[in-house]
Amino acid sequence: MALHYWHTFTKCSEISIVSRVVVCLIVTLAQPLHLQAQHNFQSYLNSLTARQDGSVIVINPSTGAIRAAWNLRRATMDAYPPGSTGKIVEAAGALEQGLLTPSDRIVCRRIPPLLGTDYRCVHPPAPQGFTVSSALANSCNYFFTVISLRLNAQSLIHWYSVFGFGTPAELDGMATSPGRVRLAQGPRAKALEAIGEWGVVVTPAQLLEAYVLVANQGAVWPLRTKDVRRRHSHPFRQITAKPLTYQTILNGLVACVRFGTCRAAAVPGVQVAGKTGTASALDGSHTTHAWFVGFAPAERPEVALVVFLDRGTGEHTAAPLAGNLLRHYFATMRKGGESVARH
């Protein structure tokens, strides 16, 4: 029987400075030599983002421990419209309030009521209509605009608050930016808020925690730069929802990766759950921000991540970057030690 000896040391190095953020790494070196050849996860993330502008957080959803991060300060302090990633909030609210069932179908007529051609749906035709799960998978603006007519404005901001929007994420025991959620005045503003295009801005850290609530069926742990065992920490937020609500949303997130807008985030042999978002930039440039947020494996998550890019689309810019990270994780991180980013 061969004995494998592990040697671990801590090295703090200036990997990159973006928005004056210095990233330090806990680097684990292992013998035998073949493990040394594996890419360090943090270094791999740095290589993917070298010419990008945005932020990324990758965590263990069972503990909140950060596995890798890029622009961590920005990911916890700067808030942006969530775009279609916010659609899980309206979906959960409508399901919980009995305004929608998992089997209800709505036929998409392409141009959402109240919103016009600027928010025209571009997904493949679905003459049989969408359920809430398939509407999430295809990011159907028409579907979620119609559902917004059933949900009053107070209820919508209530459900955003349930998922942590408007409340700071916690990083190493310290509060971060709370983002903002506003009460919509009128049906059009409410419809835009339901699809993440008005009245709500969120940090990448907050958005990640909202999706971890789905992954863990109601519990999320504080973000930490050191790996910790769950028994030594307590959930940062806990919510109660029907098991069918979680499962219906999860089905939509899995379908999004299988055949919807998140296909670029797929990992062979692993069921990934995720959602893309493309949101209008706040700077008046008429460009868009790109989002991907998700977790894997879908039923027993061990990794969750959020990708935010200043320019691009969720489907064509953020999801491919997330897919590279997830494929790298499942190809290498399970075989060796884990890298945990520090700020």
In angstroms, the Cα distances linking 155 to 36, 74, 76, 87 are: 52, 30, 26, 14
Residue 22 has pLDDT above 90, yes or no: no
Q: What percent of the chain has pLDDT over 70?
A: 83
The secondary structure of 238-255 as a DSSP string is E----HHHHHHHHHHHHH
pLDDT tens digits, 186-228: 999 999 999 999 999 999 999 999 999 999 999 999 999 975 5
pLDDT tens digits, 232-262: 468 889 999 999 999 999 999 999 999 999 9
pTM: 0.86
pLDDT, residue 233, reads 65
pLDDT, residue 262, reads 98
A 10 A CB-CB count for 343 gives 16
Whether 67 and 341 have beta carbons less than 8 Å apart is answered as: yes
A 10 A CB-CB count for 327 gives 16
The residue behind tokens 């790996």 is 227
- The more confidently predicted of residues 31 and 216 is 216
Mean residue pLDDT of the chain comes to 87
Q: Is 27 helix (H, G, I), strand (E, B) or coil?
A: coil
Would you say the C-alpha torsion 67, 72, 76, 80 has a positive or negative sign? negative
E strands in 165-267: 170-171, 174-175, 180-181, 200-201, 219-220, 237-238
pLDDT, residue 30, reads 40
Q: Where does the pLDDT of residue 283 fall: very low under 50, low under 70, confident under 90, or very high at 90 and above?
A: confident
Q: Is 160 helix (H, G, I), strand (E, B) or coil?
A: helix
Residue 128 has pLDDT above 80, yes or no: yes
pLDDT, residue 131, reads 98
Q: What percent of the chain has pLDDT over 90?
A: 78
Q: Where does the pLDDT of residue 102 fall: very low under 50, low under 70, confident under 90, or very high at 90 and above?
A: very high
Kind plus residue range of the DSSP H or E element containing 280: strand 273-280
Average pLDDT of 138-145?
A: 98
Peptide bond into 32 cis (omega under 30): yes
- 112-118 long-range contacts, CB within 8 A, separation 24+: 112/141, 112/142, 112/145, 112/146, 112/191, 113/142, 113/145, 113/146, 113/149, 113/191, 114/145, 114/187, 114/188, 114/191, 115/141, 115/145, 115/188, 115/191, 115/192
Taking the alpha carbons at both ends of the chain, their separation in whole angstroms is 40
pLDDT, residue 173, reads 84
Residues contacting 158, CB < 8 A, separation 6+: 93
Kind plus residue range of the DSSP H or E element containing 138: helix 132-138
Average pLDDT of 41-70?
A: 94
Residue 298 has pLDDT above 90, yes or no: yes
Q: Is 130 helix (H, G, I), strand (E, B) or coil?
A: strand
A 10 A CB-CB count for 48 gives 18
CA distance 125 to 118: 18
Whether 112 and 142 have beta carbons less than 8 Å apart is answered as: yes
